[in-house]
Structure 1
Amino acid sequence: MWVITVYSKNNFNMFEYDTKKEAKEAFDKMKGFKILTEVIYFNDVRFVE
């Protein structure tokens, strides 16, 4: 899961995306101070060795 957090003067908004591609496309279109974050869960089988 990918999350974009957008900060404005008195609040913030968070948007969730399933893929990095769609998150990056939305991120590039947003204005203001923003952070793109990948959320990884400790029990996600893709990251278990």
Structure 2
Amino acid sequence: MWIITIHSKKGIKMFEFCTEKEARERFEVMEGCKILSEVIYFNDKQLIET
């Protein structure tokens, strides 16, 4: 999961995306002080299996 956090005069807003591509596309057009983060869950089976 990918999260964009935007800090602006109106406050803090967070937007959630399923894919990195989708998040990066939106990140480019959003205004304000923004942070793009990937959320990794400890129990995510995709990350545990090697």
Common fold by TM > 0.5? yes
**Where does structure 1 lack aligned partners over 5 or more consecutive residues?**
none
Deviation at 1:9, TM superposition (A): 2.3
Q: Which residue in the other structure is 1:32 paired with? A: 32
After TM superposition, the runs of 4+ consecutive aligned structure 1 residues lying more than 6 A away are none
Q: What's the CA shift for 1:10? A: 4.7
Name the counterpart of 1:41: 41
Listed one character per residue, the Cα deviations across residues 1-49 of structure 1 (whole Å, up to 9, x for unaligned) are 0000000125100000000000000000001100000000000011114
Aligned length: 49
Q: Which runs of 5+ in 2 are unaligned?
A: none
Q: Percent identity?
A: 57
Q: Which moved more, 1:26-35 or 1:6-15?
A: 6-15
Q: Normalising to structure 2: TM-score of the pair?
A: 0.91
TM norm structure 1: 0.92
